[in-house]
Amino acid sequence: MQTQASSRPALTERRSIDFIPETERHGRVFSQFTLWLAANLQITAVVTGALAVVLGGDVLWSIVGLGLGQAVGGLVMALHGAQGPRLGLPQMLASRAQFGVRGAVLPLALACAMYLGFNATGMILSGQALGQLLGVDDRAGIVLFALAVMAAAALGYRAIHRLGRVASALGLLAFLYLFVRLAGRADLLQLALARQHFDAAAFCTAVSLSASWQIAFAPYVSDYSRYLPSATPPARVALAIGLGSALGAQIAMSLGVLVAAVGGAAFRGHEVAYFVGLGAAGAVAAALFFCVAFGKITISTLNAYGGFMCVSTIAASFGGRPAAIGPLRRWLTVAAMVLASVALAVWAQHSFLPLFKSFLLLLLAFFTPWSAVNLVDFYLLSGGKADAATLAGGGDCPAYAWPGLAAYLAGVLLQLPFIDCAFFTGPAARLLGVDLSWLVGWLAPAALYWLLRRRAGAGRMAAARHSG
């Protein structure tokens, strides 16, 4: 899909959370594939895959479980991404349709916490990579990486997609090389087939890890498809996004499973150094450290940009004007989000793996109910249509949409017995030995929201008949 505008759009984005008019739409569907492939071909995905083995799974069933989670979570994430061209709005601002202008502040604030957490984990690993590459302290590496993320996020949409195209090519080359080096160190087929034991709890944990990884993209995936022309077929957008994200994550997580199985205790605590040091030295090792850091810039930029969008939407919900967000405010907001992530990264760098696992699984408790309400409303109740002008302006939207809020809060509460993390373990999770909260947290609020909306619609029809 080529641009319909008369002139080529500038590299620095002019708009923020306001509606993207048709004359400014541009881009190709393939850029969605490369962006999300790059966002997943990165070291944090490798560590996520490694967790499946660290937490007790074997190689073969861990890879199968991760693949199943990619399919389920990737489908949910892709359906959110397909909303972008239709709405021309950021994903979380569009949540006003389900939660109201001020009601949407709750998931928006939680999304901000998610961006901070993900960026912090990315900075820890990227700081290790830059520290090894430049021969400096990991903290200095974190700061240097943060500056690069800040610059890319402030430039905005087109710069992010360009970054994704370069990072996807570099990521594929680097991961292919590392697969070859790992195969030279161990018989990967023998490693996968030896000592097979199906552990239901470990398998479900692998599914939950990858499903939560994919669903965590849902709050901002359509931010990066909203400039596509509105006539772009939704199925093509969803396929490009879902395939790029699931394929990239499965490649990285499968490599993580194999690296953890080969490396064992030597991998933990020195993830980047061990990962790059798979027989590589000298200039090759330096190139791999660069690829690790560069691969993290894409997803960290998405998180910083998404944080800017959420903070701006929250401000607009309490009287701000979306069109008034100028370059200075963009830079200051992005800088504040990135600096907060830097502080969190420095604090958590010595206990990274256990904190990251708990953080990733805990995210599901807050975003699967939001995802369920959003998708049921958009695809089943609204027929894939929404009044973008009303959502962007907010003046004609209710302050609070209680069916959405009720279903969302019920979904969060219903998950509590099934959650298993360092902060809290529910009785059902203790009994089952696995965290299945994400499944409960999607299906229950989806059904409840559908029933509440149908009941509200029936009540309005009955009132209309009575008044007539």
Measured CA distances, 82 to 87, 207, 226, 385 (Å):
9, 24, 9, 12
pLDDT tens profile 25-83: 888 999 999 999 998 988 888 888 888 888 778 888 999 999 999 999 999 999 999 99
Domains with residue ranges and CATH for the chain? 22-458 (1.10.4160.10)
pLDDT tens profile 192-228: 767 667 888 889 889 988 998 898 888 889 989 999 9
Q: What percent of the chain has pLDDT over 70?
A: 84
Lowest mean pLDDT among 161-175, 311-325, 350-364: 350-364
Q: How far apart are CA 4 and CA 19, in angstroms?
A: 16
Q: How far apart are CA 458 and CA 461, in angstroms?
A: 5
- Is the pLDDT reported for residue 462 higher than 60? no
- Is the pLDDT reported for residue 131 higher than 90? no
Q: What's the confidence (pLDDT) of residue 195? A: 66
Mean pLDDT for the chain overall: 81
The CB density around residue 138, as the number of other CB atoms within 10 Å, is 21
The answer to whether 196 and 62 have CB atoms below 8 angstroms apart is no
Q: What's the confidence (pLDDT) of residue 449? A: 95
Query: Higher-confidence residue: 190 or 104?
Result: 104
Q: What's the confidence (pLDDT) of residue 31? A: 92
pLDDT tens profile 160-193: 888 888 888 888 888 888 888 887 777 777 777 6
- Is the pLDDT reported for residue 349 higher than 70? no
Q: What's the confidence (pLDDT) of residue 454? A: 85
Beta strand extents in 40-164 (DSSP E only)? none
Q: What's the confidence (pLDDT) of residue 464? A: 45
Q: What's the confidence (pLDDT) of residue 1? A: 40
Q: What's the confidence (pLDDT) of residue 109? A: 86
Q: What's the confidence (pLDDT) of residue 187? A: 72
Q: What's the confidence (pLDDT) of residue 243? A: 96
Query: Higher-confidence residue: 7 or 256?
Result: 256
pLDDT tens profile 426-447: 898 888 877 788 889 899 999 9
- Is the pLDDT reported for residue 253 higher than 90? yes
Task: Give mean pLDDT, residues 10-15.
Answer: 72
Nearest to 126 by CA among 271, 315, 323: 271
- Rounded to the nearest 10 degrees, the angle between the axes of helix 43-54 and helix 105-134 is 100
Listed ranges 186-195, 353-362, 373-382; the one with the highest mean pLDDT: 373-382
Query: Higher-confidence residue: 458 or 197?
Result: 197
Q: What percent of the chain has pLDDT over 90?
A: 24
Measured CA distances, 246 to 204, 268, 296, 405, 427 (Å):
18, 25, 17, 30, 32
- Is the pLDDT reported for residue 458 higher than 70? no
User: Radius of gyration of the chain from Cα atoms?
Assistant: 22
Give backbone dihedrals phi and psi of 420, rounded to 5 degrees, phi first.
-135, 105
Q: What's the confidence (pLDDT) of residue 234? A: 93
Task: Give mean pLDDT, residues 278-285.
Answer: 69
